[in-house]
Structure 1
Amino acid sequence: MEDGAAIWRIARDSQVLDLNSSYSYLLWCRDFARTSVVARGEDGAPIAFITGYVRPERPDTLVVWQVAVDHAHRGQGLAGLLLEALTAKVTSAYGVTRVETTVSPDNIPSDRLFTAYSERRGAALEREVLFDAGLFPDDGHQPEVLYRIGPLHPQGETL
């Protein structure tokens, strides 16, 4: 739970993510720590995170909620490393074989992250609009495109 405030700040400073309340990040760190990961810098402070959860209706599916890397640590492949670490963690603990996430059309870094991840895993990647822009109560929200990745194969292995 002690990472909640730090990951809230990283999310806020990303200027890309929809920022949730600081309270929600504290709850996330308590309730979904087993399906999330945090990277730490040399001083032990969080520098990146991925939050996720296993879908109740599809227990073989990890939903990646948010991915963020502190500005000073971007461009080093940290998000990809964290995604691989999280996948290994939930595959072992929960038997996850698929990953889902949503990406807004203008979020090129996230598109690249998940496209490269599916390629490394030899997994199919399907995209479809999950939430049309009109569903959001705030003006100017882009649609959220659902990325379905799976089934997952060990890194570098394809069928």
Structure 2
Amino acid sequence: MTTAHVAEVTTRGAGVDIGPAEVTDGADLWRLARDAGDLDVNSPYSYLLWCRDFAGTTAVARDASGRAVGFVTGYLRPEAPGTLFVWQVAVDGSHRGTGVAGALLDALSARVAAEHGPIRLEATVTPGNVASDRLFRSYARRHGATVTREVLFPSDAFPDAPDAGGGHEPEVLYRIGPPA
């Protein structure tokens, strides 16, 4: 592990170290996204680029052996620099239900706020993704923030829209803030 890792979090007996992404994490982030089962998986190349270009707004959880067991990717919105948009959250099956996802969000938002000032959080969640809904609502409760929701991208905005034989659910925008 490198000295860049800034937060130590213990969750239900399984210690994880949370820190910024490194380029060498790219393949692991791709694997975690693929194995999550409910994420839109991007190309392996995109995760490598993400770990290079957005390392400061990405957090990776590593187990005691240094293996990546979770991540959250995000970026500061160019039109709203005080807003951290959370792109993806994934946790290895062996660590689900242990609080790793919440710890990742807490660590990342704290790091970004320390570097850039108070932030709001945004993320999109499909209506059927109950785990993500719970994750973001729980984050808001922990931080004394409100949550508003509205459809950002309707189903028919996607190339695999139902009328094209596909069926992407709408992406509902969660806005969490202001920070307490």
TM-score, L = length of structure 2: 0.84
**Residue aligning to 1:104:** 126
Report the CA distance between 1:123 and its aligned residue.
Answer: 0.8
Alpha carbons 1:59, 1:96 under 8 Å: kept: no
SS at match of 2:24: coil
Which of 3, 15, 21 is residue 43 of structure 2 equivalent to?
21
List aligned pairs for 1:7-156, cutoff 5 A.
7-138=29-160, 139-153=166-180
Alpha carbons 1:52, 1:64 under 8 Å: kept: yes
Whole-angstrom CA distance in 2 between matches of 1:79 and 1:41 = 13
Give a deviation string over 1:40-82, Cα, whole Å, max 9, x none: 0111010000000000000000000000000011110110011
Whole-angstrom CA distance in 2 between matches of 1:9 and 1:88 = 26
Alpha carbons 1:32, 1:53 under 8 Å: kept: yes
Gaps of 5+ in 2: 1-22, 161-165
**Residue aligning to 1:156:** none
| Cα RMSD, aligned residues only | 0.6
Aligned-pair identity (%): 60
Give a deviation string over 1:87-131, Cα, whole Å, max 9, x none: 100001111420000000000000000001111111110000000
SS at match of 1:44: coil
Gaps of 5+ in 1: 154-159
Alpha carbons 1:125, 1:148 under 8 Å: kept: yes
Q: Would you tell me which structure has more strand in proportion to its own residues?
A: 2
Give a deviation string over 1:11-63, Cα, whole Å, max 9, x none: 00001000000000000000000001000011101000000000000000000
Runs of 4+ residues over 6 Å off in structure 1: none
Alpha carbons 1:62, 1:96 under 8 Å: kept: no
